[in-house]
Each structure stands twice: as C-alpha cells, then as structure tokens.
Structure 1
C-alpha cells in the first residue's frame, strides 16, 4: 500500500559547514574550534581534518545540480561563523558572498533553504576567551546573527539558531570527545545555559520577520530493567540531560527541577540570571528534531561506559538490535515515540525532522555507485515512523535525510559515510547511491512505495 505524505511536505537533505565546505583557510575564513581540535594528535580517526572535507565550497554548482537531480525541495545547511566574521569581529564579505550564491542557487531551482546559524564551528578566538563556558559568547552570537540575517533574511525564510546544543556543550566541554575537547563538568554545565541563552538572543534578533526554530537531538531513554529503581533513576537522569534540559526551557520557559538538582554540585543555577528564561522560552515557529537511535541504560555495573555529565555510574546496555557502522542501534519506532512525546507532553508546534540517517560500510563499484540496501531500508522504516506520527496528529512538515554527501564525520573523520551520494575523496566526484536514487523517487511522488 502506498503511503502518501501531506501536500506541501518538504523532502530535503542536510549538511553542516565544517563537514562539507573545506576551503578552511580561503577567502578570509578564520580558525574554528574544530580546525584546532582536529589538528591535535589522536583526536580524529586516521588523523583526518576538515580542511578540505567534501570541497563543497568549490563544487557548489555540482552540489546544487545534485540536489535537483534528487528531486529535493528543501536543503538544510549551516553558515560558518568564522567564514563570515573575521578575528576582529568585522564582516568578511567574501564569506557572505558564498552563502548568497548558495541561497540564490537554491531558490533558482525551487529548493527551499533552511539555514542553521550554529553547527558547532565556534570561532577559536572566542574559545580563547572561554568559549561557551563564558556568558559573553551568547552576545557575540547575537551580533553574528544580526550580520547573517541582514544579508540573507530577505531570501531565507527558515532559520535554525542551534544544532544539537547537547553535543556542543556536553560532548565538547564535558566528555572532551568533540571540539574544543575539554573535560570540565562545570564548564559543560555553564555551556548548556549559555548556548540556550544564545538561542534566545538570536531568536530576539530575528524577531517575527522569519520562521525561527532550534534543532535538538532527541532520544527515547529506557531503563534496562523497568522494575529496578536504580535503572529507572538512571533513565530519568539521562533523559533529563539528553532531552528535557533543552526541551523544557525552550518550550516551557523553565528547567526541570530534578535536573537542577542533578546539576547542583556543578553550580548550574549560578549561571541563570533574571530574564534569561523569558528570553530562552520565547515562542518558536518550529522545532527541529534530529533522530538516530535510542538509549537503553542501567545504573548497575555492566554495559558500556557512557558519559553523561551529572549522571555518573550510568551505563549503556545493548539490546541485541541491528547496529549501524557507528555502533548505534537501529530503532525506527523510537522516532515515533519521540514525536508522540512532543505531541502529548509539550506545547504543540510544527516539527521538521532535520536529520535522520545512517552510516554503513559502503563499497562503491568502479563507477562510484553504492548499492546501499541497508541505508535505503533504514530511511524507509524511519519514514514510515514519521507517517505513523502524522497519522496520530503530530504536525510534521518535512524530512531531511542526513546527509546529502559523504563528509567529515567529526571525530570519526572520513571513515564513516552517511551520504545518500557517494563522494570519492580523491577526485571529489559525487555519485548518488541506491538510497539516493530511491529517495529521489519518494520525493517526486511525495509518497512511499508499496
């Protein structure tokens, strides 16, 4: 039976600036925390860096043509803060010119641009002053937002302030596995609030002139033993730090009281000033949801060590499900659970699935073509979960496959491929995979096949 999606549903793909652009030292771009982090020995698999990435900066025309060929009617990308603001805080016109060409090229092809202001590439000059652990960084972000919006706000309707503040704060400042690579729990706690303050400040700058949202990576969190109160409390703590510490202030204007208790020893509330939560909780036009897997946790010894700041002695327990090349369990019904939770527990607003996809061990043929049946099946099962959520009343407006291209996959370097188009990192030729060709037929039909 064919599964049709609502009229006007958006079919897109997503990327992030540092993961695809390259041209790291060209046309006035300054250093970001990921430039510095990736050059530190042992940080990135195989010693890779994002200096060249997928060379999107030079191959913009090819990538625009690729999007058209995949029948996309939306494209989510991020703007690189260090590309458009120099180390003196002045506008870098050449950097802005690139994004103007990108946006104009999308509009010419009938592709709706979804712009993300922050996908983790903080200028290194600001990290040198404390980074997201410093409250002043939120004001710098507002200033940067003003520059980007004044230039592109007449053509870009859809604006996302932050991508996955969980990763930026807790993986970057707490676990140390993302840039800037700090293992400082108190700094991580401060970064959570300051990132959300930056979101609220950017939302205020944009005002009602365009649609504004934030993108959160959300997960269902299950106790390994639902009858064991130790496991139940472990799940509560992880849910608090993964989901509710971001959802609640953004959608309800307040942090969850139990999470405040969990973070009391880290001085979290010391960073909350009068008026902050009103700014952070200002009404949004949409919510972006990134979804990849779920968490299955225990508070008992055993399982895999997992680092959730403020949730010590919590471990991830495998469920025996199939996994992707990232080691993430495939849990498509978890996407329905996330969407249904938003619908039943939080104030309702339109939702876009801003990232969903999987890495597998792709093997291209001599022409660069990849028969990635596993990825195509992964996408279909998650899209069916989206359709089920829509049928249950969730206002899902669009879906963005992660990712348009194979790219620099953060700490994994180039060894993990998420693209629906294969990239030969020697020649930079792009070749749609089987999953990309399948996705193009779905986008054209606005429906899943029988």
Structure 2
C-alpha cells in the first residue's frame, strides 16, 4: 500500500474509521491477491472521497507525523468496513407488491405488477414509495442501485428527487412500453423516447444521479421503439441502458413469436444496437454461448437475480458458462420479484443457485459481485465499489455479532472466507450497523435520527 501524503489535506474535513477493512481490486475467481483485508484497519475520508484504507498502525503513525492536531477516530472495532453494496437491478414501484403469489412471470405481471405501477402517476404516492424504498436500501447497506421506475415520468422525478436529497449515487430511468401491456401504462414509440430524452437531460450527471434508457423488455416494445431506444443510446454513450432478457422459457418463446427473424432473444437487442458498455441485462438465465460471446464482446453486463428467479420458478443462472465467456457480472435483488432488499440474503440464494448448477461460489466472490463487480459492470470502477484513493466514500459497517446465531457462528470461524460465508448465509439487514454515502452517515441500525 502506498503511504499517502496527508500534509496537503484540509484537516477540518478529514474523517477516520477504525475496524476490520475489506475491499477488492479484482475478481477472486480469476485473480490471486484480488482483495485487501486488514484485520485492524483504518479508513480515511476527506470531502466525501476516500483518502486511504489500510493497516491501522501504519496509517495512524503517518497521520501523527503529518497532522497538527490529533484526529478523532470513529471506533468500529469488532466490525467490518467495506464498500456499500451495489444492487444492479431493482424496481422501486414494486415495493408494495413484494411477496405476491403467482404461478409464473407473465401472470405475475398481469395480476400484480401493472396494477401497482398504475398508481405512480400520482406524485404524492410516487414520493412516498420512493422515500420508503431508499430507506430500505440504506437499511440493507445498498448505496447504489440501478432502478426501474414506471412509464410515468412523475415516477422518475420522484425517485431522483429522493436520491438527490440524500446525495446518493443512483441510476434510474422511465420504463418504455408501447404494446402488450394495459392501456393505462402504454406510451408510444416516439413519445416514450421523447420523455426519456427529456428526463435524461434533466437528471443525468446531476450531482450523483445517472440516467438509464429503460425499455421494459422486448415483448412490450415494438420494433420502432426498440430502434429509437438504440438510437438514443448511441446519441448518449455515457448514459446507461437497462432491460430484461431471457428470464423464463415462456417469455423466451413469446419473444421468438414476436421477432421470428431474430436468432435469439439477445439478438433482438443486438440488432437495434443495444449491446454496449453501460448496458445491463437482468436475468439472462436462458442464453446460449453465442449470446454470451456477444455480451462479452460489447461489454454488456448481466445482472444475476437469484431470489426472483427462484421465487418465479424462472430457472438457474449458469455461472460457469458466463465466466467462461467473461461476461461482466453483478448481483441484484430484483424487488418485487425478489423477496428481500438485502444483498446478504441475495448472496445466500446465489450460493444455492450456483450449487444446483454444480458451481461452487465462494463467499469472497459473492462479496466481490456485490461491490466491485457491480461497479465494473456499470463502468464505475474508481468511482464506487472499492477504497482506491479518490473513490466516493460509500461504505457500510457489517456486524458479525448482530444476531445471537451469527455471533455464535462467527466466534468459531477460522478464516476470512468462513467469516464472510457466515455473514452471507446467516446475515440480513440486522447485520448492517451503519451505512455511509459520500462520507455521511445515512443509516444507523439503532434507529436514532441522523
């Protein structure tokens, strides 16, 4: 670790946190020495950015030699500080319909999703749900999410207004769908693009907010809307694109009937120029090797959604095939198809999905996918996802003693892998002692006002 120069810092803005510290520099599945672990560590922050993260004794000695006054250190010993979780696919309007029963994806959309999303033309309702949704993310240690809003632009304004008020790094967009959906949620090919571009110009790179062009999925957009979405993405290469792909077999068959000339579901998007860096495709359970190869070539990323795939019976994600193709991967809750806002619970399900596919997913890999893996998939490495100098100081404090069972189990762990595995398999929102965004405390487990 390079020793930073503290003499040029504005000491009035310097913050210090002592705990065990974990962050990643590479994917543990493909690289040795992919992470840094400091059992007694120190995280230093100034002006909402990371200054340094490393060994407590080394950094504190350097601090004493450089600073004119003694620094107050927030003591989190016994806990783990790591970058905030990145949820790469989640629907904030579906917060109130989480855990709704249905025999599969398509009937679930018809019975619960579309009627729930209809309410988001009301600014007060959208703002109320957005406030609760963001509270829930922070309570679970998620500091960045890639969010679907609804067809109504009001829903986008409500979400970004809430996120901006807390200075969070969020990505979101207006859903576009001009067919195969209820009339009350239907836009038009041209109107959906026009509204999206207006919102994009309003919110993208406004503070820490980022915009995503958001066709819901291929069946709900006609050829013209998909064509225009691809053209809009080409016009704004630094803007994101998000949608769904190959979630379940009924959906794949439907896409084949709607786009008979396409080689595959993913080929529909490819034909319209929608495979690109900063594009995120949720699910991708039923891809073939050609699909994965094209995604890797274009740096299009996959958002793995294990809880919703299990809940809706969609299928098991193929980790081995995705890794072989070197597709960028990240983890997501996919609320409300997913049944928890907790990325720890999402890791729990991801581990089981991998085992059912004869793949072993170590805890270190799961925590990578939920932090730096998400940042890399979003082309945000160096901005969020780890503790390199200059990164935004979004981080969480994990408590291995947050429940009696976790405390008993973690007292008996003999390695970092065992400790993290216990947190992933037994942890939930209670394991998040605190959440920080841009160096500011935005959630504390004891519930005291911030």
* TM-score, length basis structure 2: 0.41
Larger strand fraction of residues: 2
Q: Name the TM-score, length of structure 1 as normaliser.
A: 0.41
